[in-house]
Amino acid sequence: MEVLEKKNKNKKYKPVLEGIPEWPVYQLSKNRKEFLEDVAQKSFERIKSIRPTRKELIDELEATVYREQQRMKRNRWRVDPEDEALFWADIKQQLIEITNKPAEDNLQREEALLSRIVNRYAHEIAGNFKPSSYRFAREMITFWFSRLLNASRIKKFGGFFRNQYTLRDKIQIVGKVKQLRNLTRKGTIVMVPTHFSNLDSILIGWVIHALGLPAFIYGAGLNLFNIKIFAYFMNSLGAYKVDRRKKNIPYLETLKTYSNIALQRGAHSLFFPGGTRSRSGMIEKTLKLGLLSSGIEAQRNLYLNAAPDQEVRKIFIVPVTLNYHFVLEAPELIDDYLSSKGQDRYLPEEDTHGSLGMLKFLFKFFTKGSNISVSIGRCMDVLGNYVDDEGNSLDAHGRVINTRDYFLAGNQVTIDTQRENEYTRMLSLRIVEEYHRINRIFASHLVAFVAFELWQKKHPKLDLFGLLRLPEEELVIDYAEFRKTCKRVRKQIYQLKEEGKANHATHLKGKIDEVIKHGLDNVGIFHLKRPLLKNKEGHIITQDLNLLYYYHNRLVGYELEKFI
């Protein structure tokens, strides 16, 4: 396995499609005006079907205006359009005029207002892929990250300008790479990664390029566009904007429609189905179903618009897990999680680091020894069935099945919202299952999990918040006990890998003391307060139990608690 990973790490992949004009994302941008008109029109029709009566539509428009004006008062971002206050004030004034006059005097003015709103939303969401900007951004990312990497690894003057090390030495890509590259030619890929850090968007963009894949469109949180350097690169690399502050139906339907039509037109797509960064540090257990459902709707529409015997381009779902020793935003994320634990409420995305903070983090990451691993899962169809290397869907016994059959009623492809909602739920469960299966467990995850669980076991009467308030003098673990427990839990991780329920990094093998040292050296490596370390006596202590809880949570879901 170690030899195979080294081989994959150093392999250079040729482009799947030679020229950018062949890329689906380029064709989408080339016909951008017509594409956005289609998105707006289909969104308008969809919202009309959800709110079919005049009263229901006016009520929805009033609710949308209210929510948008409240958002502007309470949570403005630098990236917000300058004219939006005027826009929504005008919409509100026209709604007042409509509701104060008889219906026959308005001549469907409420529909005209809806059309204006979805057109605005479509243009707000839309990406702006440009080949020249894409090439420049791609080369800049590769050049500067490689320079930082060589400067740190070659401790001599001039190391900054050498090419001894590449990003593939720092970012390890493992898993079903060959299948992914092959199916990119045969169908439309929807990549669905886990989401832990603001770094994820740029990281995945680089991975797509490193694997020789054409550019993907992808939904990036609008909050990231507050960070100027991120805004430039994401605009150049094919991102479309997702504003999680907006919960009204016109916006959500326009966003789904944008994704749906792009997929029908063959644009490879990427989005984070967790909806936002994992606050707890856990692998996502529950996914947002809105954008996931767009893949199922797009596949159904492709079958619906084709003749029964016509070959239809399939949509493939590719789970990806991102594995870090360290997450820059971990202190803020775990504080958010703990403050909201037990409550079902939205926590707004905030940029607490800005461009300078993110640049400092990138410099630290590329000049220290901590690596990142990207695990590519086995490709699935939109129903969650595995597919073979030719794109054929397989049932649980490995037999070829026809995905079109899932959309039939009376031998015809039909639209059935209830049926497709269930398919979306089933797909989300399969993606979560695959996340855990391909998750690559690091030594840092092991030591954080064992330490926190040992402290929980020592204080069985305390709830989580009581445990997190323990004084420092009670937070010491004898190294011999810690070592023994790490060895036992590691053995179970090996067993999980044999059963196909998890994966682990090669550095988890070898002498347990070396594995523990690797974990302690890397867990939360850049935080001012280290979540786990040895004291002068050689015992295990923490400087920040909240942070340790965050990193511990990466191994929640494998029932490893039983082996503590």
- Kindly report the pTM of this predicted structure: 0.86
Residue that is last in its domain, among 418, 438, 458? 438
The number of residues making up the chain comes to 564
Q: Is residue 411 part of a domain?
A: yes
- Give the pLDDT band (50/70/90) at residue 546: very high
Tell me the per-residue pLDDT of 345-371, one tens digit each, with 9 for 90 and over: 334 444 454 555 555 655 555 555 457
- Above 90 in pLDDT, residue 283? yes
Identify whether 354 is part of a domain. Answer: no
Residue 447 sits in the same domain as residue 540:
yes
Q: Give the domain extent around 81.
A: 31-126+217-267
Same domain, 428 and 413: yes
Annotate 149-198 with three-state secondary structure: HHHHHCCCCCHHHCCCCCHHHHEEEEECHHHHHHHHHHCEEEEEECCCCC
pLDDT beyond 80 at 517: yes
pLDDT of 389 > 80? The answer is: yes
Tokens found for residue 548: 């340790």
Whether residues 254 and 387 share a domain: the answer is no
Judged by average pLDDT, the poorest of 47-61, 132-146, 261-275, 331-345 is: 132-146
- From CA 294, how far away is CA 261, in angstroms rounded? 9
Band of pLDDT at residue 410, cut at 50, 70 and 90: confident
d(CA 103, CA 122): 28
The pLDDT confidence band at residue 540, using thresholds 50, 70 and 90, is very high
Contact status, residue 545 vs residue 468, Cβ threshold 8 Å: yes
Distance CA(155)–CA(142), nearest Å, equals 21
For 105, left (φ over 0), alpha (ψ -120 to 50), or beta? alpha
Q: Residue 142: what pLDDT?
A: 64
Q: Are residues 45 and 174 in the same domain?
A: no
Query: Cα(464)–Cα(339) distance, rounded to whole angstroms?
Result: 12
Residue environment code for 406-428, b if the CB has 16+ CB neighbours within 10 A, otherwise e: bbeeeeebeeeeeebeebbeebb
β-bridge mates for residue 504, sequence order: 441
Shared domain for 194 and 321, answered yes or no, is yes
**Exposure of 28 by Cβ count < 10 A (0-12 exposed, 13-18 middle, 19+ buried)?**
buried
- Looking at the domain assignment, is residue 351 inside a domain? no
Q: What are the tens digits of pLDDT across the range 95-111?
A: 998 887 776 666 688 99
- Does the pLDDT at position 158 exceed 70? no
d(CA 452, CA 433): 24
pLDDT > 70? residue 150: no
Rounded Cα distance, 118 and 47, in Å: 10
The per-residue pLDDT for 52 is: 93
| Residue 352 within any structural domain of the chain | no
Is 380's pLDDT higher than 80? yes
Mean pLDDT of 286-312: 91
The whole-number pLDDT of residue 369 equals 47
CA distance 254 to 44: 8
Q: Can you say whether the dihedral through the CA atoms of 126, 131, 132, 138 is positive or negative?
A: positive
Name the phi and psi angles at 317, rounded to 5: -100, 130
Q: Please give the C-alpha separations between residue 356 and each of 102, 251, 293, in angstroms, as whole numbers.
A: 56, 32, 37
Tell me which residue of 170, 133, 131 sits closest to 149, measured CA to CA.
170
Residue 562 clears pLDDT 70, i.e. is over it: yes
Q: What is the DSSP string of 64-82?
A: HHHHHHHHHHH---TTS-T
The pLDDT of residue 452:
98
CA distance 170 to 149: 8
Is 159 within 8 Å of 151 (Cβ atoms)?
yes
pLDDT at 122: 96
Instruction: Answer yes or no: is 398 within a domain.
Output: yes
**Of residues 105 and 195, more confidently modeled:** 195
Please tell me which of 179-188, 225-234, 361-370 the model is most confident about, judged by mean pLDDT: 179-188
The total number of structural domains that make up the chain: 3
Same domain, 122 and 110: yes
pLDDT, position 198 = 79
Q: Reply yes or no on whether the pLDDT at 6 is more than 50.
A: no
Alpha carbons 141 and 154: distance in angstroms, whole number: 20
According to DSSP, the β-strands at 171-175 and 239-242 are unpaired
For 419-460, write each residue's pLDDT tens digit: 999 999 999 999 999 999 999 999 999 999 999 999 999 999
Q: Where are the beta strands (DSSP E) in 266-411?
A: 269-270, 315-324, 372-376, 393-394, 400-401, 408-409
Given 438, 473, 493, the domain boundary residue is: 438
Together in a domain, 506 and 412: no
Domain check: are 303 and 393 in the same one? yes
**Do 133 and 244 fall within a single domain?**
no
Lowest mean pLDDT among 208-217, 317-326, 443-452: 208-217
Alpha-carbon distance of 269 to 213, in angstroms, equals 12
- Reading the block at residue 230, the tokens are 């991120």
Q: Is residue 237 part of a domain?
A: yes
Q: 3-state DSSP call for residue 485?
A: helix
Of residues 116 and 197, more confidence is placed in 116
Q: Which pLDDT does position 347 carry in this prediction?
A: 42
pLDDT for residue 159: 40
Average pLDDT in the 22-37 region? 89
pLDDT at residue 415 in the model:
94
- The reply to whether 458 and 421 lie within a common domain is no
Amino acid at 31: N
Q: Could you tell me if residue 272 is inside a domain?
A: yes
CA–CA separation, 201 and 224 (whole Å): 9
Query: In terms of domains, do 186 and 228 share one?
Result: no
Residue where a domain terminates, one of 438, 459, 482: 438
- 383 and 305 share one domain: yes
Residue 353 forms part of a structural domain: no
